Amino acid sequence: MQTNEAKKSSASSFFMKIVKNQCFIPLATLLLLAVFNLIADPSFFKISLGYNSAGNPVLSGFLITILDSGSELAILAIGMTLVTAATGGQDISVGAAIAISGSVLLRVLCGTNSRPETLQAPIIVAFLVSCVVAMLFGAFNGVLVAYFKIQPMIATLILYTAGRSIAAWINNNELPVISEPSFTYFGEFIPGIPIPTPFFIAVACMIIIGIVLKVTNLKLFTQAVGINESSSRLNGLNPAFIKVLSFVILGLCVAVVGLIKVSRISTINYSVIAKDIEMDAILAVALGGNALSGGKFNMAASIIGAYVIQFLTTTLYKFNVQSDALPAYKAIVVILLVVISAPTVREAFSSMTKKLKVKEVA
Amino acid sequence: MKKKLLSVLLSTAMVAALATGCGSSEEATASTEDTATEAAASEDTAEEAPAASGELIKVGIINNDPNESGYRTANDKDLKAMFTEENGYDASFAYSLKNDEQITAAQKFIQDGVDYLLLSAADTAGWDSVLQDAQDAGVRVILFDRTIDADESLYEASIVSDMDKEGETAVNWLKEQGLSEYKIIHLQGVMGSAAQQGRSGALDAAVASDGWTLVTQQTAEWNAEKAQQIVQSVIDSGESFNVIYAENDDMAKGAVAALDKANISHGVGKDVIVMGFDCNKWALEELLAQNWNYDGQCNPFQASYIDEVIKKLEAGETISEKVIIMDEKGFDAETITQDDVNIYGI
């Protein structure tokens, strides 16, 4: 009898452990969406190997599309999670910053001629320049937030408003087009490898941030600053520096996404590139169950959150939902998820289960 | 208390920063002022040397910000090339995307005593009183590119694009292709815009009358990435299609990127017909390379039409038909030439 009871309680505590894990909600959503698609139309999961017009093998199917498009969001989610944790606010200038870094990238590649026959600089050089520029803009946001104590959302509103105009100025409002095929490798496929490159880039970013969080004290310091700024200062940390650093890291993420986005179509449209992507990135953080008011964070949950959002988008496209109605559907799902995963609701839920347990024991 | 003061100060600084941050519109205001002073300056010179430049026709041109789009840049370039001293004009320019700033610029031009006021209004409403002032002052008004909600007697002519006709030209071209079946992916612009309504309307009518199939009809909001995702989704679901009707060049480009990825051939004599609008230079080059099939023009070159109207008015003729609709071409990949690309590409 007793052993049975013990088993039961250990099973339930194991179950509770899973539920309490921050990754539970985004993973459960992913599973739910997957099951929904499985029932509605199993062909959703079909992956086929074909060849693209250049004759290279490529995998195609809805799942590949999700991996492909979701990767951009996953990369942004990394930076956005850090900013959220350190400052308790969000950066809404991400889309505009992508326009800027993409514009810089093309400017360096094209030189003064907007339609070059050959690239004017190696891609890696152009990418590094765009990284530096994006990190500088990140630092600009960071300084406004950390030293001038402006609300992050308000501070980044400046770049949100001005960014796309700046991006247009960088190229004298011309629309450079790049005809070099190797430039498309970053947004599409590397010849011979049938998996979309953005996924590899995202994985590389995840590994790097994973190592950084493991090896350095970045996670601890960021959380400390996010939870209580003054006590972290008393403990010898420099909260302003940590905040600026988080924005600079987000800037780096922005440059990487800028490369992918520009590479996809080999050109840029300043007014629409990466439009509203900041909202999806913030959603990814929220879906991951991270408190938007800062403090503790879980990077893996945010990244899964990013793929969940893309899964949802792709599902809605598949069912031919009008694309201008799409944000409304997304909003409904997201409101539900965010409410469920909100720390207050989770606390209420856990206290309720505790009460139930007490009753059971009694 | 100190903290409060600081925060007030900071927020003022912020607002100031925001104001400078609103790049294009701010710049536009600045340039409005610049041109206003320029206009005044040129008036001075005109008064000083009436004998030398007395023949010049003074025009004040109010346009939208040339940074708005490729179309607008081409439009501005065209106007600047036409209204030069060599062609007998003394032109002043003012740019703004805001109606009230445009109205202020118009008042300034009227005070400066221009002969003609050329106007591409940011907004359709609010022009009655200023145009009445213009009429009283003997300034003749010619509208270009955009119409306004004002009495026809207030302006001499209105030179505009007919978006419905652009759509019809494209759809007629598509009909002539004589495909055995039409399975169309329709990528729409931002819903409700004049270009979207005109270009969608013609296709919708043809779909209803000719029994064409719309595989999907989605707005990609002029956005290449969205268009790519929408077409990708159709490809992933395995539905077949043979026409892509994209309401601008960017969306057509996004669609083609998805086709290339799935190795679906497109262009002249291939599996899928690709149609775009706006005649960007790079798009016409795609036509020339036969990767796309059709591109419809949205004509930004109104200057020659305006010139013609002014010449007529100066000669004392009257304009019988106030609304002048520009010729707009549709380019077919089979007949397009390098000259077309150079002349019509924007």
Of A158, A165, A264, nearest to B24 by CB-CB distance is A165
**pLDDT tens sequence across A10-45:** 667 777 777 777 788 889 889 999 999 999 988 889
Task: Tell if the CB–CB gap between A324 and B21 is shorter than 8 Å.
Answer: no
* A69 and chain B in contact, CB less than 8 A: yes
Please tell me if residue A330 touches chain B, with a CB cutoff of 8 Å: no
Q: Is B221 on the interface with A (CB under 8 A)?
A: yes
Query: Distance (Å) from the C-alpha of residue B107 to the closest C-alpha of chain A?
Result: 28
pLDDT score at B12: 58
Helix (H) or strand (E) holding A74: helix A62-87
Say if B51 is an interface residue toward chain A (CB within 8 Å): no
Q: Where are the alpha helices (DSSP H) in A171-266?
A: 197-215, 218-227, 229-234, 239-265
Q: What per-residue confidence (pLDDT) applies to B68? A: 66
Nearest CA in chain B to A114: B282
Contact B98, B122 (CB under 8 A): yes
From the candidates A153, A160, A269, which should be mutated to test the interface with B, based on the most B CB atoms within 10 A?
A269
Task: Determine the average pLDDT of the residues in A107-121.
Answer: 85
The sheet that has B57-63: what strands, in order across it?
B89-95, B57-63, B116-119, B140-145, B157-160, B323-325
CA-to-CA distance for B215 and B264, rounded, in angstroms?
16
What is the identity of the amino acid at B18?
A: L
Tally Cβ neighbours within 10 Å of residue A232. 20
pLDDT at residue A349 tops 50: yes
For residue A219, what pLDDT is reported?
94
Which strand (E) or helix (H) includes residue A283? helix A277-287
Percentage of residues of chain A with pLDDT beyond 70: 95
Q: Which residue has the tokens 């106030």?
A: B322
Instruction: List domains and CATH numbers for chain B.
Output: 24-159+300-315 (3.40.50.2300), 163-298+331-344 (3.40.50.2300)
Chain B residues lying within 8 Å of A166, measured CB to CB: 23
For the stretch A177-228, pLDDT in tens is: 888 889 989 998 899 899 999 999 999 999 999 999 999 999 999 999 999 9
Chain A CB contacts of B262 under 8 Å are: 50, 52, 58, 60
Three-state DSSP class for B186? strand
Chain A neighbours among B 163-192 (CB < 8 Å)? 191
**Cβ A317–B229 below 8 Å, yes or no?**
yes
pTM for this prediction: 0.79
Q: What is the pLDDT of residue B48?
A: 39
Q: Can you tell me the mean pLDDT for A311-318?
A: 90
Contacts of B223 in chain A (CB under 8 A): 269, 272, 275
Q: Are B287 and B330 in contact (CB under 8 A)?
A: no
pLDDT at B47: 41
Is A50's CB within 8 Å of B262's CB?
Answer: yes
User: CB B261 to CB A52 under 8 A?
Assistant: yes
Global ipTM:
0.82
Residue B292 near residue B286, CB atoms below 8 Å? yes
What is the pLDDT, as a whole number, of residue B320? 82
A280 Cα to chain B: minimum distance (Å): 14
Taking phi first (over 0 means left), then psi (-120 to 50 degrees means alpha), and beta for anything else, what does residue A295 get?
Answer: left
When pLDDT is averaged across residues A132-138 and rounded to a whole number, the result is 97
Q: pLDDT at position A310, please?
A: 92
Mean pLDDT of A265-270: 85
Q: What single DSSP character describes residue A91?
A: -
The residue with tokens 């104590």 is: A149
Phi (first) and psi of residue B60, to 5 degrees: -110, 125
Q: Residue A361: is its pLDDT beyond 80?
A: no
What does the pLDDT average to over A297-325? 90
Tokens of B197: 């309504």
Q: Write out chain B's pLDDT in tens, 346 residues.
A: 555 655 655 565 555 554 444 434 444 444 444 444 444 444 444 443 333 445 789 999 999 877 667 788 888 889 999 999 999 999 999 988 788 889 999 999 999 999 999 999 888 888 999 999 999 999 999 999 888 888 888 999 999 888 889 999 999 999 999 999 999 999 998 888 888 988 999 999 999 999 999 999 999 888 888 899 999 999 988 899 999 999 999 899 999 999 988 889 999 999 999 999 999 888 999 999 999 999 999 888 899 999 999 999 999 888 888 888 988 889 999 999 999 999 888 8
Which pLDDT belongs to residue B148?
85
DSSP class of residue B56?
A: P
Confidence bin at A356 (pLDDT 50/70/90): confident
Rg of chain A over Cα atoms, rounded to whole angstroms, equals 22
Phi and psi angles of residue B275, each rounded to the nearest 5 degrees, phi first: -120, 135
Q: Is B135 exposed, middle or buried (0-12, 13-18, 19+ CB in 10 A)?
A: middle
Place of tokens 């607002």: B15
Q: Where are the beta strands (DSSP E) in chain B?
A: 57-63, 89-95, 116-119, 140-145, 157-160, 183-188, 213-219, 243-246, 273-277, 294-296, 323-325, 330-332
According to the model, what pLDDT value does residue B41 have?
43
